[in-house]
Amino acid sequence: MSTPALEFKELHLAYVVRGVPREVLRGVSFSVQPGESYGLVGESGCGKSTAAYAAVRYLPRNAKILSGSVELGGRDVMSLGTEELRLLRANNASIVYQDPGQALNPTIKVGPQLAEAFTVTGMSASDAAVQARAMLQKVQIADPDSVLGRYPHQLSGGMQQRVVIAMALACDPQLLILDEPTTGLDATVEAEVLDLVRKLRDEYGTSVLFISHNLGAVRSMCDRVGVLYAGQLVEEGSAQEVFDAPQHPYTVGLLRCLPRHGSKKTDQRLETIPGFLPLLGADLPTCVFVDRCPLADEICRTQVPPMVDLGGRIARCHHTDRVHDIAVADLPKGTASTVDRTRDPLLQLRGVSKTFHQGGKQIKAVRDVTLDLFPGETLGLVGESGSGKTTLAHTILGIHAPDQAGTLTFAGTPLASHTRKRSDDAIRGIQIVFQNPDSALNRRHSVRRIIGRSLRRLAKVEPAKIEDELHEITAAVRLTDRHLDMRPAQLSGGLKQRVAIARAFAGRPRIVVCDEPTSALDVSVQAAILNLLSDLQRDGDTSYVFISHDLRVVRYLSDRIAVLYLGRIMELGPAERVFDGPHHPYTEALLSAAPSVEGDTRVRIKLEGEIPSAMNVPTGCVFHTRCPRKLEGDICSTQEPPLNPTPDGGVIRCHIPFDQLGGGPVQVELTRRSGDV
Amino acid sequence: MARYVLRRVGLALITLFILSVVVFVVASVLPGSVGRAILGPFADQQSVDQLNKDLGQDGSLISRYLRWAGNALTGDFGDSFKYRRPVMDFVPTALWASVKLALMTIVIVVPLGILGGVVAALRQGKAADRFLTIAGLSLAVTPEFVVGIVLILVFAVNLGWLPAGGSAKGSLWEQFQVLLLPSLTLTAILFGYLSRMARAGTIEALNADYTRTATLKGLKRRTVLRRHVLRNSLLPTIAVIASQMAYLLGGLLVTETLFNYRGLGLLIFEAAGDRDIPMLMGAVFIVGALAMLMTLLADVLIAWLNPRVRLGSKA
Amino acid sequence: MTAVAVPGAGGAPDPAADAAAESRAPAVTAKDVRRELRRQLFRSKTFLGGMIIILFWAFCAAFPAVIATDDPSRQDPASKWVRPFTDGFLFGADRSGRDVFSRMVYGAREIMIIAPAAVVLGTLIGITLGLLMGYFGGPLDDVISRIIEALMSLPVILVALLALSALDASRLTIILLIGFLFGPIIGRTVRAAVLTERNLDYVRAAELRGERSTYIMFVEILPNVVGPIIVEFTVRLGYAVFTMAGLAFIGFGTQPGSPDWGRTIFEERSSLLSDVWWPSLVPALALASLVVAINMVADAIQGLVDR
């Protein structure tokens, strides 16, 4: 076997905080073979980024190697001299991380910045300029000459990440490290970037270390996968094996937390992993997962589990033989769907638009939205960033007033445009759960005060009864009384989100807008929050407007789904139909862009170009500039299609007849194009 | 960019107007009459009224403001009460003397402050950083005249190397000697402030993702510092410094008084002592307008250095 | 702090177990956090050192007779320019034979009254302005910002001088003057902090609950900007001492012959040239010690607030 491109040998790494070393990596061993792609997965705080930066020895000053080593191409990274380390970084390894906008120097044009990556290998300036241009073509930038002369801020996020990738591959490294390279990018852009990396990796024969919390992306990119938990590699094997038949209780739990393909709240609750991720540097028992493990017994508490070789794959567990016994939890059936569409809708939007004015220009963020929301129903809002889903939600809440023409009706009465002008009932009736609980909770107020204030303002609870109501509502969101005197900073992310949920539900709202309520949380916490949301919905007959970029989560929770593009509803219908088809070409592309952890059987539909600016909307069908199914002739580019009703009571905005749209079981063959696998 | 500059100039003009109102109002809250203040309690009312009229001190507040501001626009700040000559006979000479002192101070303190800040940033948290930070802070908050007195004691009285005060006249060398102690006094005040700004800017750039990119690209540390860190931190720092020149101008007042240096500061000090209101208003207004001009130039410089503002974003 | 959770055997998690176990976090209350902050503050040498010096001068200002060895205004031509540590004059005597040490002790009073009072006034003005500007934004913010910018283009001491040459320089005048001049400056800092808070979702949540603007500003936002306000208060206190001393030095705000430090330095500085350094250097160092001490405290608090 040839020398591995990267090899971790029992690496123990600690951060020294106030003189005390806190161990972050606890004996991590793995290797990436030449030409191989290796994925590292795990929840936040498990040490995956630390591992990535340890590979190029870019560690904070308080980092300390306790024992073990990291070898890059057979050389011990930690023992290199300054100059050797620099040359190693220049020639042998490159790293791409999230937020490309920050990774590029804002005051230097793309050309010179990219050329630097070539001159550092000893190339002359003029050669470097030529190479920089060639490299931009390699990363599929259409107009390299113009891009070379631009500043980073003049490029879109996807383009910036291409430039960073070009820079990383300039030295033709043996190892390319990708640390959450697509986090923050839209699914469609993410898919393109990953396609590009895949293509270049094959072309250059580069080894890849891919770090992501997105299990689907890891599965689609990698040959082998390592699962990190609390700074330990608990399982390793081929991507397919690990994801299809995990052998460690943690991996099993992690995968089961995700809403399964096509699963719905009405079928089944989500499984969760009880307990907490251990804190950084905590003194851990013999098996790091023992506190949360369903198989834990005496031996787990007394003996460090060995790395069990399971024929080409390994798991660090005493009970690998019993892992497949972990019962698929006997979970109560989910909430039965009780949406009764013969009742009067709770919320009606008729022709609602929202135009922002900025520097004399008009930004049409939401255009002509008409929809109904029924009691107890969840309406999912889906679309890329800039699609107007958040603006629409904010308009419903009265954060900003809609344009004159449209009307909003809540429980039969017209809804004032702005919160300030709304009746107490309307204010109490429509509440929100924000994405980031750190921002949503006042850091200076105790939990008691945060929830108590809502009880008083919204539910008009008398001061004497506040305490009783507090206990009731905290119990409903599964918090205990002890939490009441804490401040948000003392709670974990999941607990904070429960407080935010309690606050929203204090006034027994009829509608709750959930704006990406789980996207700041780890998957195991996400599952518990989603369960809570569906319990509360069932108990209170509450309606949700649910925004998320995670399509599976949307599908799990939603009864109906609206797909937005450039502020317009492109499609609205029952969740099953919108997901399974027939559906709008845009929905189809959006769905196919998100890689699945079960492995993809679907063919990826590539969207060309980027979402146009809302200031300069295309003529005709707004999607025609990127549509893979644009019709012959110029109907798509000149005529905006009407919202055609569908048999299931929904609408689709497309010139293509409903029965010829893609996605349905019969249509699969038609949309699959040759050579695109 | 042009739009930004136009907007900025427009705002500066509004600010200038507010400044003139502030100066006028503050100086006009004088209880009683100017004429009476000058002529004393025993003069008869008629001559007091006459003097008030001569001095332009009659009429409503607004009409007096309009008259003062209108004249100020043409560079006429009225006559000094004390010397009975136009204020503008005195201001330019004094201003030129102060500019010399300010320039000398800037020449010393800007490189020193930036060097101190960058060194502190590169040694962040270590002894050199702590020392520079604490020393800079202590000097910055110690009143000018305290530092000045120590400097006079050491260099003028005990060592006898430099004059303890006086005006910048004669040969360049003589002028340099006179200017050195006052400018060192001002340097002491400004050093801590400047090095703090430079330190913060450098640390921000050091911690930026693009610096990480540059390091991991395998660039030499020197190249990383020069092309990526300092390029992003220093020019804006210099511009920010320029926008804070009001502090330097405030320091001139006390420093010039202590060293008996005939600049704008001493002019203002004496005018205040003599209750020479037109002189005071004129000089203070000019100081404010100058500070504002420097802020304007600094803002434009900052904007020009930032491609985001210069080119606008075109995502 | 390790979380211990033992899920039921058989591996079927109880539906609420996730939350129940998650809630086994250590019980730390808001009170504990405040206590911890205080403990860290009192462990900081910078803070303690600064605080001791400030308290010493505060004591001198309140009970000067306890420390002073002589009447600060008793003149005695025979003792003119007695050198320090002779004839019972700890820090020597000045040109009128007054005891420099006792004058230093009494000199603390004026500054220790005026500076804190002025800064308290300025901070109250600043908080109000900052909250209004930061929360409402728009034209109100634009107008006030312009005025503040105009004020800030003038050194505070110049504006004070301009006003004091027109007004009579009583103690109250100086407090009001410095307070009103510092108000907008403090307001700018508060505004910046409020702007950051204003974009956080808890403010939006309060608006969506139908809260009134005053409630949002004073109950929701204000407690979150207390840190920067305390820092600004201490920093401005330093500047107030600085400004006040500067004014006294150019002859404003105190009566001739007053033991005030700035005034004394102004009156005694000419004797420097005769190599008589003590009458001016002693109050100069006293002044320096006070400003440096205030800034040490400010620095320590800043370090704690930033974290």
ω into A437 cis (within 30 of 0): no
- Cβ neighbours of C239 in B, within 8 Å: 141
A94 touches chain B (CB under 8 A): yes
C284 touches chain B (CB under 8 A): yes
Residue A669 has pLDDT above 80, yes or no: no
- Cβ neighbours of B144 in C, within 8 Å: 246
- Cβ neighbours of C151 in B, within 8 Å: 22
More confident residue, A235 or C61: A235
Q: What is the mean pLDDT of residues A492-512?
A: 93
CATH assignment of the domain containing A43: 3.40.50.300
Q: Provide the pLDDT confidence category of residue C25 given band limits of 50, 70 and 90.
A: very low
Q: Which residues of C touch A (CB under 8 A)?
A: 1-7, 9-13, 15-30, 33, 200-202, 204-205, 207-211, 220, 223-224, 226
Domains of chain B: 91-312 (1.10.3720.10)
Q: What angle do CA C281, C286, C290 make, to 5 degrees?
A: 145
C149 touches chain B (CB under 8 A): yes
- Among A661-675, B214-228, C19-33, top mean pLDDT goes to B214-228
- What is the gyration radius of the CA atoms in chain A, in angstroms? 26
Same domain, A536 and A397: yes
B32 touches chain A (CB under 8 A): no
Calculate how close chain A gets to B107, using CA atoms only, in Å.
27
Six-digit token string for A397: 């809440």
Six-digit token string for A419: 């919160």
Please give the C-alpha separations between residue B142 and each of A550, B83, B188, in angstroms, as whole numbers.
58, 36, 9
pLDDT reported for residue C179 = 92
Residue C6 has pLDDT above 50, yes or no: no
Q: Is B258 in Cβ contact with C299 (below 8 Å)?
A: no
Same domain, A391 and A527: yes
Give the one of A87, A105, A121 whose C-beta lies nearest to B210's C-beta. A105
pLDDT in tens, A578-596: 988 788 999 988 888 877 7
Residues contacting A325, CB < 8 A, separation 6+: A295, C11
Give the one of C7, C30, C207 whose C-beta lies nearest to A446's C-beta. C30
How many percent of chain A have pLDDT more than 70?
95
Orientation angle between helical segments B91-122 and B277-305, nearest 10 degrees: 40
pLDDT reported for residue C20 = 36
Residues A103-140, buried b or exposed e (16+ Cβ, 10 A)? bbbebbbbbbbbbbbbbbeebeeeebbebbbebbebbe
pLDDT reported for residue C70 = 74
Q: What is the rounded distance in angstroms from the CA atom of residue A479 to the CA atom of residue A404?
A: 43
Q: Provide the pLDDT confidence category of residue A34 given band limits of 50, 70 and 90.
A: very high
- Cβ neighbours of C209 in A, within 8 Å: 427, 453-454, 457-458
Give the one of C147, C155, C249 whose C-beta lies nearest to B246's C-beta. C155
Boundary residue ending a domain (A330, A356, A378) = A330
Six-digit token string for A144: 């390299």
Calculate how close chain B gets to A70, using CA atoms only, in Å.
17
pLDDT in tens, B274-312: 778 888 888 888 888 888 888 888 878 877 877 776 765
A104 touches chain C (CB under 8 A): no
pLDDT in tens, A64-118: 999 999 999 889 999 999 899 999 998 899 999 888 888 999 888 999 999 999 9
Q: Are C282 and C100 in contact (CB under 8 A)?
A: yes
Same domain, A375 and A506: yes
More confident residue, A353 or C62: A353
Q: What is the rounded distance in angstroms from the CA atom of residue C175 to the CA atom of residue A465?
A: 49
Give the one of A58, A104, A153 whose C-beta lies nearest to B308's C-beta. A153
Q: Is A156 in Cβ contact with B315 (below 8 Å)?
A: yes
Q: Is C7 in Cβ contact with A274 (below 8 Å)?
A: yes
Touching C (3+ Cβ pairs <8 A), the chains are A, B
Touching B (3+ Cβ pairs <8 A), the chains are A, C
Calculate how close chain A gets to B110, using CA atoms only, in Å.
23
Q: What is the mean pLDDT of residues C74-97?
A: 73
Residues 537-556 of chain A with CB under 8 A from chain C are none
Q: What is the mean pLDDT of chain A?
A: 87
Structurally, chain A folds into a number of domains equal to: 4
A193 in a domain, yes or no? Answer: no
Same domain, A311 and A202: yes
pLDDT in tens, B172-211: 777 888 888 889 888 888 888 888 888 888 988 988 889 9
Q: Is B141 in Cβ contact with C242 (below 8 Å)?
A: yes
Residues contacting A578, CB < 8 A, separation 6+: A560, A561, A563, A571, A572, A587, A650
Touching A (3+ Cβ pairs <8 A), the chains are B, C
The interface predicted TM-score of the complex, written ipTM, equals 0.84
Same domain, A529 and A468: yes
Q: What is the rounded distance in angstroms from the CA atom of residue A595 to the CA atom of residue A187?
A: 9
Q: Where are the domains of chain C?
A: 33-68+107-304
The single-letter code of the amino acid at A330 is D
pLDDT in tens, C111-146: 888 899 999 999 999 999 999 999 998 888 888 888
Orientation angle between helical segments B245-259 and B172-207, nearest 10 degrees: 150
Residue C230 has pLDDT above 60, yes or no: yes
How many percent of chain B have pLDDT more than 90?
4
A177 in a domain, yes or no? Answer: no
Calculate how close chain C gets to B295, using CA atoms only, in Å.
8
Q: Give me the sign of the Cα torsion angle C184, C190, C194, C195.
A: positive
How many percent of chain C have pLDDT more than 90?
20
pLDDT in tens, A295-352: 888 888 888 888 888 888 899 988 888 887 776 655 566 555 567 788 889 999 999 9
Which helix (H) or strand (E) covers residue C257, if one does? Answer: none
A87 touches chain B (CB under 8 A): yes
A307 in a domain, yes or no? Answer: yes
Q: Is A116 in Cβ contact with B232 (below 8 Å)?
A: no
Orientation angle between helical segments C100-136 and C138-152, nearest 10 degrees: 150
pLDDT reported for residue C26 = 43
Same domain, A154 and A249: no
Q: Is A106 in Cβ contact with B210 (below 8 Å)?
A: yes
Cβ atoms within 10 Å of C239's Cβ, excluding its own: 20
Identify from C44, C46, C149, C153 which residue to disrupt to test chain B contact, counting B C-beta atoms within 10 A and taking the largest count. C153
Same domain, A535 and A648: no
Q: Are A194 and A180 in contact (CB under 8 A)?
A: no
Boundary residue ending a domain (A520, A535, A569) = A569
More confident residue, A522 or A395: A395
Same domain, A79 and A202: yes
A120 in a domain, yes or no? Answer: yes
- Cβ neighbours of B314 in A, within 8 Å: 154
Q: Mean pLDDT lowest for which of A387-391, A670-674, B153-157?
A: A670-674
Q: Are C260 and C252 in contact (CB under 8 A)?
A: no
Q: Is C149 in Cβ contact with B149 (below 8 Å)?
A: no
Calculate how close chain C gets to B218, using CA atoms only, in Å.
32
Same domain, A565 and A604: no
Q: Provide the pLDDT confidence category of residue A670 given band limits of 50, 70 and 90.
A: very low
Q: Is C280 in Cβ contact with B157 (below 8 Å)?
A: no
Q: What angle do CA C184, C188, C192 make, to 5 degrees?
A: 160
Calculate how close chain A gets to C226, using CA atoms only, in Å.
10
Calculate how close chain B gets to C43, using CA atoms only, in Å.
18
A677 in a domain, yes or no? Answer: no
Same domain, A525 and A407: yes
A637 in a domain, yes or no? Answer: yes
Residue B32 has pLDDT above 60, yes or no: no
Q: In what order do the strands lie in the sheet with A643-645?
A: A430-433, A511-515, A543-547, A378-382, A560-565, A568-574, A651-653, A643-645
- Cβ neighbours of C1 in A, within 8 Å: 279, 282
Give the one of C20, C205, C211 whose C-beta lies nearest to A440's C-beta. C205
pLDDT reported for residue A121 = 83
pLDDT reported for residue A70 = 94
Question: What is the residue range of A98's domain?
Answer: 94-172
Same domain, A77 and A218: yes
A563 in a domain, yes or no? Answer: yes
Six-digit token string for B3: 């739009």
A188 in a domain, yes or no? Answer: no
How many percent of chain A have pLDDT more than 90?
41
A-C contacts (CB, under 8 Å): 159
- Cβ neighbours of B305 in A, within 8 Å: 107
More confident residue, B122 or B241: B122
Q: Are B90 and B267 in contact (CB under 8 A)?
A: yes
Share of chain A residues as helix, strand and coil, in percent rounded to the nearest 5? 35, 20, 45
The alpha carbon torsion through A49, A53, A59, A63 (nearest 10 deg) reads 60
Q: Is C208 in Cβ contact with A275 (below 8 Å)?
A: no
- Cβ neighbours of C168 in B, within 8 Å: 31
Q: Is A480 in Cβ contact with C10 (below 8 Å)?
A: no
Residue A191 has pLDDT above 60, yes or no: yes
pLDDT in tens, A4-32: 999 999 999 998 887 888 888 999 999 99
Residues contacting A331, CB < 8 A, separation 6+: A268, A269, A271, C12, C15
Q: Is B216 in Cβ contact with A94 (below 8 Å)?
A: yes
Q: Are A377 and A339 in contact (CB under 8 A)?
A: yes
CATH class for the region spanning C33-68+107-304 = mainly alpha
Same domain, A560 and A631: no
Q: Is B137 in Cβ contact with C299 (below 8 Å)?
A: yes
Residues C39-59, buried b or exposed e (16+ Cβ, 10 A)? eebeebebbeebbebbeebee
pLDDT reported for residue C12 = 31
- Cβ neighbours of A167 in B, within 8 Å: 213, 217
- Cβ neighbours of B126 in A, within 8 Å: none
Residues 270-299 of chain A with CB under 8 A from chain C are 271-276, 278-279, 282-284, 291-296
